[in-house]
Structures are given as C-alpha cells and as structure tokens.
Amino acid sequence: MKNRLPVEHFHFPVEKIKAGYYTDAYFLRTEEILNGDNHHPRVMMQLFTREPVVVCGIDETIALIKTCAHNPENITIHALHDGDEVAPWETLMTIEGDLADFAHLEKLLYAASKPNGKKVLTGKELGIPALERGKIELSDFSDKAFTITPTKLSQRYKEVPLEELLEMLISL
C-alpha cells in the first residue's frame, strides 16, 4: 500500500480559500442557498481527465480538501496515487459529503483535475526528449513572479543531470 504525504506537508492560504477568494461567485451562492435553506444533500463529486496522464499532485489535492473544506471530517475521499497511469475518463478521485462543505473548492478541484489547468511544463518543453510525456506541475496560490537560481554545489555532492533527476522522481 502506498503512503500519502501528510496534510501538514502542504501550506495553503486557508482563510482566503474558505472565504471564497479563489472561487467563482456561483459556487459561493450554492453554499449560501444550501445553508440558508438548511438543505444538506450528500453528493459525490468525481474528478477525471480527458487525456491519458500520470497522476501527480493527488496528495496535495487531498490535503486541500482536508484543510480547506468546512467540516472535512464528514467528507469521504477515494483517490488514486501519484505515479498511477490513468486512461481518459478514468476516475482520479471521488469526494463524497455535504455539498455546502466543499462547493467553494470546486473551481480549484476542477483546475487540478485537467491537464494544463495549472501551470504545467512537459519534458519536451524542458528540452528532455526522453520525458516527452512527463509533466511537471507548478501549483502556487501566489500571483507573485518567481525565479529559480542555480545553486553552487559543494565538493561533497555529486551533480546529477536534470534528465536523470526527473527519471528518479518519476520512479518514486
């Protein structure tokens, strides 16, 4: 059985997410209506992809639900694991619970389930032909630009080519 990364491994702007900062108004209105009418249907949301993919970021998605949903203890999640290969229309994850508890997460969950929903770089775009089908997904809830600065290695570390490093990460 594969282990999941602990929820504490991830850091989200919880209050902003719960307040609907990253959500379309109609998802917030859904919560408002359901709570206002004291109507709490138990629903199942199914996340899938339309393309063949290798799953990545599923533990982050689970952590997002467990951290940012209202009453996460009442939500049941079933999900594949990072590294699993998925065919088109195959279910990646199901989320079952009171819709009012996670409707505000729907836009974020939808973005996470579709290729290029977030900033995604392919092996081809990185100039690594051997990893042409591989994807690296950058997920950050910040709108600030970022830069990557190479680190100078000390003598006690062996430099590993990027292609080799990515292959090691994919095999985990």
Question: Which pLDDT value is given to residue 134?
Answer: 62
Question: Which pLDDT value is given to residue 136?
Answer: 56
pLDDT in tens, 46-61: 888 878 888 888 888 8
Question: Which pLDDT value is given to residue 148?
Answer: 46
pLDDT in tens, 80-126: 988 888 888 888 889 999 999 988 888 787 766 555 444 555 555 55
172 vs 168: CA distance, rounded Å:
7
pTM, 2 dp: 0.63
pLDDT in tens, 3-31: 888 888 888 888 888 888 877 787 888 88
Stretch 35-44: mean pLDDT, rounded? Answer: 90
Q: Got the DSSP string for 57-118? A: SHHHHHHHHHHHSSSGGG-EEEE--TT-EE-TT-EEEEEEEEHHHHGGGHHHHHHHHSTTSS
Q: Please state, for a pLDDT cut of 90, what percent of the chain lies above it.
A: 15
What amino acid is encoded at 38 in this protein?
N
In the predicted structure, residue 132 carries a pLDDT above the cut 70: no
